[in-house]
Structure 1
Amino acid sequence: MADSSGEKKHSASERRRQKAREEGQVVKSQDLTSAAMLMAAVVTLYWFGRQTVDRLAALFAQTFSQEITGKVSTDLAIANTSAMAIRLGWIILPLMLAMFAAGILINVSQAGLLFTPNKMMPEWKHINPVSGIKRILSLQGVMRLAFGIFKIIIIAVIAYLAIRQQQDAILGVAGMGIPLLAKTIFDCLFQTCLWVAAALLLLAMLEYAYQWWKHEEDLKMTDQEVRDEMKESDGDPQMKARRRQIQRQMVMQRISSEVPTADVIVTNPTELAIAIKYNPNQMVAPIVVAKGAGMVAQRIRRLGLEHGVPIVERKPLAQVLYKTVEIGEAIPLEQYQAVAEVLRYVYQLQGKKVPEISM
């Protein structure tokens, strides 16, 4: 039979995903960020566009209609230019803030807060022209180029259709006054940008979906990689500590749910505690539902006291049951008599009918 260990058929483990993230290998689409920023700009123009156009028109009208008499000094020209730049900055500030916020939001939503210093270091394979040509001619490079051409064609068609739809308004600009001309140009540009931004956003989402699928496929693991990772994890002190913590949590959860249902807790008296349950209608023999030593034994005793479970001290029996019977297992035949005596004692104290334990 052929060895299929080289086939990537296992989903990536959390450790592999974390390692890939530390190396900067995350699903991230720059096109999605650009499209979101453009859409944010369009939405901002929708809310503040007319006001922005009016303020820009007033600024340029004031700047270029000033009558300058006498010799124009360099200082005056610099002062006027600086004042105009400052006012222009305040006018377009909402647009810049919206685009900046959209860029940050989309980047964080894609990859979270990620800092990878190793990605800042130059790599020879990115500088080597031979490697660059190989990347371009690779299947992924060809697909990226084809998708880029496809996007250009789609955007060109969308822009053409948007302009075509507004051709009557465009052809009617002749003879318009400055305010009406500015309004018409703004409306045409806004509609065109809205169509283009929507198309770019849709294409970017499709590209992101493909990148996510490709990323998941690349992270998949072979049988050998799974085995190697398990070996590494077994020797990792942090992984061992984590597994022990999980095991302790599972034990405590089971103790918390099982001890209140027990019929008796056998102790020796403080170091060991074994919770035993017996239902003659459902069980062939009594079973151990919880056991523990040290802190776990104290936890079992405390739960027993809280829920009214009888606690009986039987040192030899507690030691034997702790060593020989696992949680969920039935009492062995050798210990039937001793356990039966404990159960009869408990039932008599509680005034219950003593069930028969089959030997």
Structure 2
Amino acid sequence: MAEQNDDAEKTEDPTQKKLDDALKKGDVAKSQEVSTWFAMLGTGMVVAMLAPSTADSLSTALRGYLVNAHQIPMDGTALHGLWQATGLKVAAILALPLLLLLAMALVGNMIQHNLVWSAERMKPKLNKISPLAGFKRLFSAESLVNFLKGLVKIAVVSGLMVAVLWPQRDTIDTMIFRETGVLLEEVHILVLQLIAAILAVMTIVAAADYVWQRQRWHEKQKMTQREVREEYKQTEGDPLVKGKIRQLRMERSRKRMMAAVPDATVVITNPTHYAVALKYEQGMGAPVCLAKGTDQIALKIREVARNHSIPVVENPPLARALHATIDIDQEVPEEHYRAVAEVIGFVYRMRERGSWRG
């Protein structure tokens, strides 16, 4: 029962691995309203800066077709060449505005997250063609929110159009009588006013939607406690397995340590809680620790030493100091040279006299 509740409630913040996996799949926090805002901003920039020059260029490029319409050949080859030349001219004229719109669309995505290259979204999935899954998506809470959001945007944009154009209704009624140059200029001003008003409202909408989408995405990435444990096992390894491996390593190390005790020169003890086995031979810079331990391990070291007639010397302060400052296969620290030298000297003297009984 506890496992079911654990799986049902996603209460844990997503781990970095979970966020990285989501990024690889192309699952990122993204607000379509922010992208739309940048697209609208790009449109406004095109209308404000490039519309007059683009319109003049298109007018110049296409005026000849109207003036010389009667001279344009209509046979297949000539018509194909005409369409090709016209297409190249129009593409060259519209290239800069289109590039600006494309750049603003990229900025609208990159400002929310870095560019993500993932084929995960393009992979075929059965739930995408499943009628039942489609029905659930169609009537889900997200679809309802998007539908209401769309209605609100239509209402807001319609209201803005009325608010901007209604005061100009008398001017609009008489526009048909204007000269072409004056008409285009007045239309240009009205369009800029309309875009500016829409951008002002969309700024609030885009900011609110971005916060909502990011919060919703973060909630979706949350994990259950069981998922966190499973991920930890995958990345760090099962704690039980790691504990078993650590135990095996310690046992092997202990066996190697005990196997080295018979080569020791002396074992210094506490006498029951600590034991340190040292080896010293002529030519060595300092004695080396072959084994050390406390309690049961210390008892085993003393037992092995006595079985192999290795001298066991009781010196509690020195035993505790050596156990705390020296590791296996390390030389005795310099501050303990004198005390260790006295013990080893004592052992050598006892051996020379033949009075050491082990």
What amino acid maps onto 1:172 in structure 2?
T
Cross-structure match for 1:304 = none
Identical-residue share of aligned pairs (%) = 20
Q: Is the counterpart of residue 25 in structure 1 residue 27 in structure 2?
A: yes
| Cα deviation, residue 197, structure 1 | 4.1
What amino acid maps onto 2:139 in structure 1?
L
What amino acid maps onto 2:17 in structure 1?
R
Distance 1:73 1:113 in 2: 49
Cross-structure match for 1:132 = 134
Cross-structure match for 2:120 = 118
| Cα deviation, residue 211, structure 1 | 0.9
Report the number of matched residues. Answer: 258
Structure-2 change in CA distance of 1:162 and 1:317 (3 Å): same
Cross-structure match for 1:252 = none
Residue 106 of structure 1, aligned match among 99, 108, 113: 108
What amino acid maps onto 1:55 in structure 2?
S
Cross-structure match for 1:192 = 194
What amino acid maps onto 2:64 in structure 1?
Q
Cross-structure match for 1:302 = none
Higher mean C-alpha deviation, range 154-163 or range 73-82: 73-82
Question: Contact 1:169–1:184 (CA<8 Å) still a contact in 2?
Answer: no
Structure-2 change in CA distance of 1:67 and 1:131 (3 Å): closer
Distance 1:102 1:112 in 2: 15
Cross-structure match for 2:161 = 159
Cross-structure match for 2:294 = none
Distance 2:100 2:37 in 1: 13
Give the TM-score taking structure 1 as reference length.
0.61
Question: Contact 1:39–1:198 (CA<8 Å) still a contact in 2?
Answer: no
Question: Contact 1:12–1:220 (CA<8 Å) still a contact in 2?
Answer: yes
Structure-2 change in CA distance of 1:322 and 1:166 (3 Å): farther
Cross-structure match for 1:66 = 68
| Cα deviation, residue 151, structure 1 | 1.6
1:1-359 → structure 2 map (5 Å cutoff) = 5=6, 6-69=8-71, 72-235=74-237, 317=321, 320-322=324-326
Structure-2 change in CA distance of 1:91 and 1:226 (3 Å): same
What amino acid maps onto 1:43 in structure 2?
M
Question: Contact 1:40–1:98 (CA<8 Å) still a contact in 2?
Answer: yes
RMSD: 3.6
What amino acid maps onto 1:84 in structure 2?
T
| Cα deviation, residue 135, structure 1 | 1.2
Give the TM-score taking structure 2 as reference length.
0.62
What amino acid maps onto 2:324 in structure 1?
V
| Cα deviation, residue 120, structure 1 | 0.8
Q: Deviations over 1:90-122 (max 9, x none)?
A: 222221011111122222332323222222112
Distance 2:156 2:215 in 1: 23
